[in-house]
Amino acid sequence: MTMGSPVETQILVVDDDPRIRQMLQRYFEHEGYKVTCVTNGKEMRSALSAKPFDIVLLDLVLPDQDGIDLAREIRSVSNVPIMILTGREDVVDCVVGLEVGADDYVVKPFHLREVHARLKSILRRCQTARKPAPNADEVLAFEGWRLDREKRRLLNPENVEVELSTGEFEMLDAFVHNAGRVLSRDVLMDLTRHRERDPFDRSIDTQISRLRRKIEIDPARPKLIKSVRSVGYVFTAKPVLAALDGRDR
């Protein structure tokens, strides 16, 4: 990802409404971004194969394929951030979008400044995730798993890399670095999503549900990320420093 300035940032807009495409393209190009617009899933695949993008703004209702399916398809092969743009009023669709790997969503009609603010927040989080942290050559290990912050990798006990979305990685990173501490949803939102709190926003629970499916032996009876009734969640494992070859130290 290139994030030195907006002009280095490539945005892919996937929306079949010409008014939305034109509005987003004009606004973000005026702000200095590079914008490519497509109208359907086929064109989206072609654009993504032609060059790398820093973020995808994806409509849920497209003429050839549902946006949820496209988000799932993108996430199966790439960790590029996805922001869902939807005119659907049912929040369930937005939650499903987050479940399949989207990083955020906005509901139409939207304010361009809000879209811009959320886009910058997503890109900032991705940039931070890719920056070497202090002692970034060190890896945190827990219950046989290894979390490499610099390379943004999670290796399972069989030493196989497990793909994580930006939101999933940040959620796990927050838990690992606050192990044993009960974290409320508000705290987790501050540590990960960096967006205004909404009492009806269940995206934190959605991210945790997705993460549990990837790291828990039995997601229905989690042992690593436990719920604390009426408070939040707690990461029960005790992370230790480990070498990249898996030897604890």
pLDDT tens for the chain, 249 residues long, are: 444 456 679 999 999 999 999 999 999 999 999 999 999 999 999 999 999 999 999 999 898 888 999 998 998 888 899 999 988 666 677 777 787 888 888 888 899 999 999 898 888 877 655 544 444 446 899 999 999 987 888 999 999 999 988 888 889 988 998 899 888 887 787 777 544 444 445 678 888 999 999 999 999 999 999 998 888 899 999 998 875 544 444
Q: Coil, helix or strand for 200?
A: coil
On the 0-12 / 13-18 / 19+ scale of CB atoms within 10 A, 1 is middle
pTM of this prediction? Answer: 0.57
pLDDT of residue 89: 65
Distance between CA atoms of 81 and 76, rounded to whole angstroms?
12
Structural domains of the chain, ranges and CATH numbers in brackets: 6-130 (3.40.50.2300), 139-242 (1.10.10.10)
Q: What are 170's two structure tokens?
A: 């940040």
**Side chain identity, residue 249:** R
pLDDT of residue 28: 96
How would you list the strands of the sheet with 104-107, edge to edge?
34-38, 10-14, 55-59, 82-86, 104-107
On the 0-12 / 13-18 / 19+ scale of CB atoms within 10 A, 25 is middle
On the 0-12 / 13-18 / 19+ scale of CB atoms within 10 A, 77 is exposed
Distance between CA atoms of 249 and 246, rounded to whole angstroms?
9
pLDDT of residue 22: 96
